[in-house]
Amino acid sequence: MLEIYFCRRWVAVLIALATFGSSNAAEPTPVRVGIVNASSDVGFFIADKRGYFRNEGLAVSFTSFDSAARMVAPLGAGQLDVGGGSPSAGLYNGIARGIAIKIVADKGSTPAGHGYQPLLVRKDHVDSGRFKTLKDLKGMKIAGSAPGSASTSTLNEMLKKAGLKTSDVDRIFMGFPQHVLALQNKAVDAALTTEPSATKAVQSGAAVRIMGDDEAYPNHQLAVVLYSANFAQEKPDAARRFMRAYLRGVRDYNDVLLDGKLAGPGSDEVIAILTEKTAVKDAAIYKAITANGCNPNGKVHEASLKNDLQFFMDEGQIQGKASIEQVVDNSFVEAALKDLGLYQAKRPGK
């Protein structure tokens, strides 16, 4: 009986050790992701909610920032693995200082029908005739997100259409949700505001949508996915797995788009994810917004990035030398496409 007891105890120990070893082998890789809590974070949110990250053996955690510029330092220090936001002058200044952050995928862009950062003008200016054409922006206070952000380049393209320069307007910088209140309080005359804040401003009666940024600046690369050097170089397998999961989320998003809106089959599920993950809890807002574009095959619009970088340089926002070739790394998207294949729209004519 004693031999049987010790035999059973030994078997129990072996099982415990085997279980411990297998649980350690299956332990997910932590990935720290910086987000700006915008509708263009939807690819991250879908991949998280539907378990795509988890299925790739990743434990993703999100930290909110008010702009991508504030992610540069923690990305450079390895405190973040992934970031998502506007490719700003701050990013390129970090590159010029030797911080090896990489732009690895599209997060938000403006193909036709996806002008998700429109120009808004106060409704009282439109009603009174103070604003009729883009030339009437001269002398106005115009809200943007931050100095050296991609939205400043959008404004530049709009002003160029009217023969104006950025020096012809008074640029005011604040977070996108604050734009709504500033328009309502008449603290600014106009704003370049991303969704869903843009739709909220219009629905409140404070502003009129004048022009989508897809009209002023087609295929503008407004938001990107960033990888830290630590993540890309020291954890390349996890970085490839992250990209696979992210692109699956982006493809699910593209599947529910219809005529620039979240209106196709399955859109209610995506809207439910957005209302859960963002500060906007009204599903009707997301049904009304102009949805951001996001390349289901991942790659960024490099011509747009080059145009923005030149604008930042012309404005004196860049200290040092930086180039798009230094910062864009398509290898993770290309590796994901080998596994996933090119995107095939589920609905004809999408």
pLDDT tens digits for the chain (350 residues)? 434 433 444 433 343 344 334 334 569 999 999 998 888 999 999 999 999 999 999 999 999 987 777 888 899 999 999 999 889 998 999 889 988 899 999 999 999 999 999 999 999 999 999 999 999 999 999 999 888 888 899 999 999 999 999 999 999 998 888 999 999 999 999 999 988 899 999 999 999 999 999 999 999 999 999 999 999 999 999 999 999 999 999 999 999 999 999 999 999 999 999 999 988 899 999 999 999 999 999 999 999 999 999 999 999 999 999 999 999 999 999 999 999 999 998 754 44
Q: Give CA–CA dist 234/240, Å, rounded.
A: 12
Domain range for 131: 119-211
Considering the domain architecture, whether residues 193 and 86 belong to the same structural domain is answered as no
- Provide the token pair at 132: 């009729």
CA dist 196 and 208 (Å) reads 14
CB 268 within 8 A of CB 255: no
Angle ∠(183,221,96) on CA atoms, nearest 5:
105
Strand ranges (DSSP E) for 92-220? 102-109, 119-122, 141-144, 170-173, 190-192, 207-211
Last residue of a domain, one of 159, 185, 211: 211
Q: Do residue 138 and residue 105 come from a single domain? A: no
One domain for residues 106 and 252: yes
Do residues 202 and 241 share a domain?
A: no
Residue 347: per-residue pLDDT: 58
Query: Last residue of a domain, which of 211, 237, 262?
Result: 211
- For the chain, the maximum distance between any two Cα atoms, rounded to a whole number of angstroms, is 99
Shared domain check, 157 and 56 = no
Looking up residue 269, the CATH number of its domain turns out to be: 3.40.190.10
Nearest Cα residue to 167 out of 180, 152, 179, 182 = 152
pTM here is 0.88
Is there a single domain that holds both residue 308 and residue 225? yes
* Paired tokens of 66: 């008010």
In tens, the pLDDT along 107-165 reads: 999 999 999 999 999 999 999 999 999 999 999 999 998 888 888 999 999 999 999 99
CA distance 1 to 183: 84
Q: Which tokens sit at 27?
A: 């332990």
On whether residue 252 sits in a domain, the answer given is: yes
Which tokens go with 315?
A: 């404005």
User: Distance of alpha carbon 172 from its chain centroid, rounded?
Assistant: 22
pLDDT at 16: 39
Within 13 A of 76's CA, how many CA atoms are on the CB side?
18
